[in-house]
Amino acid sequence: MENGEVFRDYEYKRLGTVSLLAGIDLLTGEAVSLVSNTHKRSDFIGFLKVLDKKYPSQDTIRIILDNHSTHKPKETRRFLPTMPDGRFEFVFTPKHGPWLNMIESFFSKMTRQMLKGSA
């Protein structure tokens, strides 16, 4: 590298990695999910649409989120006003508190059981 230049690999590929957006319905215990080959803002909006379709229109859907950048961009802020007032309520966990989000424990268990082959 010359003059402090930083080079980035323009050929980066995810090579079979998928993104899983999921939530747990606390009343039924059901996991509601969306699997995507990408990890984009539009995927998060797609997940919100899945939730909107699943639950009665008069319900408020409360979602506990980490502080990931896909949860806060302009696209999401533009999408929310297209929903009925109060349809989605977001609660953000502290930056270093993923254990406060129940779905993180679910992801951890899935990783241990399915990907690493242990109980």
According to DSSP, residue 84 is labeled P
Query: pTM score, two decimals?
Result: 0.72
State the Cα angle at 76 between 90 and 81, rounded to 5°. Answer: 80
> Can you give the residue ranges of every domain in the chain?
19-115
The answer to whether the beta carbons of residues 22 and 32 sit under 8 Å apart is yes
Q: Which CATH superfamily is domain 19-115 in?
A: Ribonuclease H-like superfamily/Ribonuclease H (3.30.420.10)
For residue 50, give the H/E element and its range.
helix 41-54
Q: What is the pLDDT along the chain (119 residues), one digit of tens a residue?
A: 444 444 445 565 656 677 888 888 989 989 898 888 887 888 999 999 999 999 999 999 998 887 766 667 788 889 999 999 999 998 888 877 766 777 777 777 777 787 666 55
